[in-house]
Amino acid sequence: MQILIAHSHLNPGGVTRIIESQIESLPNEQIKVLVGAAENPEVITSKGAELVIMEDLNYLDKRNYSDNEATEMLHKIYRELREHISQNSVLHFHNLNLGKNPIVTYAVYLLAKEGFHVFNHAHDFAEDRPSNLTFIKEIITDIFLQDINKVLYPKLPNYQFGVLNSFGYDRLVSYGIARNRIEWLPNPVAVPVSENMPSKDDSKSEICKSLGLDDTMLLVTYPIRVIQRKNIGEFILLANLVAHKANLVVTQPPQNPVEIEMYKQWVQFCNNENINVTFEAGTKVDFTKLLRASDFCITTSYKEEFGMVYLEPWLLDTPVVGRDIDFITKDFKDDGFEFPTLYFKLNIPGLKADFKDLNMKMQMEIISGVNNGRIEKQKMFEQNPILNTLFRKVAEHVTEKNKSIIKNNYSLKGYGIKLQKRYKNLVG
């Protein structure tokens, strides 16, 4: 059996990390990785997998395509994929239905109709991104005259699905996918934890020195790449509210050109308002060391696919606080996880809206208001009591319990066993 793992690209981020984990979890399998672009091929080749660059797998420009143009592209992509696929292989495609390249989605559907084995690993859904769903319809419905539901969710025994959580599982069931064709695949949590790790105090001292921060204050890290759904404005508001006792850092800038302008505006805003946020800390210090050094990790995101940020830091003895996303954390809580200080809403004096629902301009106005005293900080704490305990010390037994759940329920070995069983189910 040959495993073909496919995705649009290998940009740093969640999907690339999962592809790396899949290779590591299947040490005895023959694996070939097909991607549209790879700025750092070694992340794959160093793990013993073969890497094939197929530029046509990358994102497709959102523009109008003629019937002939789309058909030519379809035939080319189909031929390129067909060269690598056989009756004894599984094509494990990440985010195939997201709408980044509907022609690839249709080509894989055609391969499945011929009887080839497809495992559609859904991290996100186009149904949550209106512009992506429109793009899919423009290509698959308007040009190829196909029912998009049949293309995205074909009822074929050789076309099966992987989901990250119960929310995705229930969603596919509601779309008519048989339960035995869906694999619930929580992402493996594999932080490089060493017996010889420095203590938290020593780690914090080293990291704070590198970042030019006062190590007598709390170090709070948001371990993400800044994009819109990560709700960076709320993180900056919290940084302003707790500036007297905590240094807040965020790890990575965006890569998507659409997000970069937003990011630059927030960096400039913090400079103008003299708000102490350390940006791009992950480019200055080692990521794992930073998480180990932090007193807390925080998340203000309002949309996640899996929610790795809620898990990873605990393995480094770093509690996670911040905004709760109930359909994500539900699975973790069902496993017995404890999250001492998560909140569902951030109230603003004088407004009925949740802070996350405001546009960037309004968020900046509110943060400025808090900064210049027009909005009293005390009222923010009164209307959001959770803020008073957000960075309260977490009991050691809670940390140890959460670490134990991660090791038992989200191990790399267990993940590989699930994948192997699913692949064998597909190939027979």
Domain-wise residue ranges, the chain: 2-188+411-427, 200-409
CATH architecture of 2-188+411-427: 3-Layer(aba) Sandwich (3.40)
The model's pTM: 0.86
- Specify which residues 122 forms β-bridges with: 163
- Alpha-carbon span 325 to 327, nearest angstrom: 6
- Alpha-carbon span 179 to 169, nearest angstrom: 8
What pLDDT, in 10s, does the model give residues 141-167? 999 999 999 999 999 999 999 999 999
Asked if residue 262 lies in contact with residue 186, where contact means CB atoms within 8 angstroms, the answer is: no
- Specify which residues 342 forms β-bridges with: 322
Do 200-409 and 2-188+411-427 fall under one CATH topology? yes
Q: What is the mean pLDDT of residues 33-50?
A: 93
For CA atoms 371, 373, 378, 383, give the dihedral sign. negative
Q: What is the mean pLDDT of residues 221-240?
A: 96
What is the band of 279 on the pLDDT scale with cuts at 50, 70, 90? very high
At the fourth CATH level, the homologous superfamily of domain 200-409 is Glycogen Phosphorylase B; (3.40.50.2000)
CB-count exposure of residue 105 (10 Å: 0-12, 13-18, 19+): buried
Q: What is the pLDDT of residue 255?
A: 83
- Alpha-carbon span 309 to 71, nearest angstrom: 41
Asked if residue 59 lies in contact with residue 26, where contact means CB atoms within 8 angstroms, the answer is: no
In angstroms, the Cα distances linking 212 to 233, 249, 312, 313, 405 are 23, 12, 25, 22, 35
Q: What is the pLDDT of residue 14?
A: 81
Residues in the chain: 428
Strands 50-53 and 30-35, by their bridges, are parallel
Q: What is the mean pLDDT of residues 122-135?
A: 94
**Residue for token pair 């630059």:** 264
Q: What is the pLDDT of residue 273?
A: 96
For CA atoms 303, 306, 308, 314, give the dihedral sign. positive
What 3-state DSSP class applies to 123? Answer: coil
Torsion angle, alpha carbons of 51, 52, 56, 61, to 10: 20
What is the band of 210 on the pLDDT scale with cuts at 50, 70, 90? very high
In angstroms, the Cα distances linking 162 to 121, 165, 359, 378 are 4, 9, 34, 46
Torsion angle, alpha carbons of 40, 44, 49, 53, to 10: -40
Structure token pair of residue 255: 């890569």
Q: What is the mean pLDDT of residues 353-363?
A: 97
Q: What is the mean pLDDT of residues 357-371?
A: 97
Strands 89-94 and 117-122, by their bridges, are parallel
Angle at 80 (CA atoms; ends 187, 98), nearest 5 degrees: 40
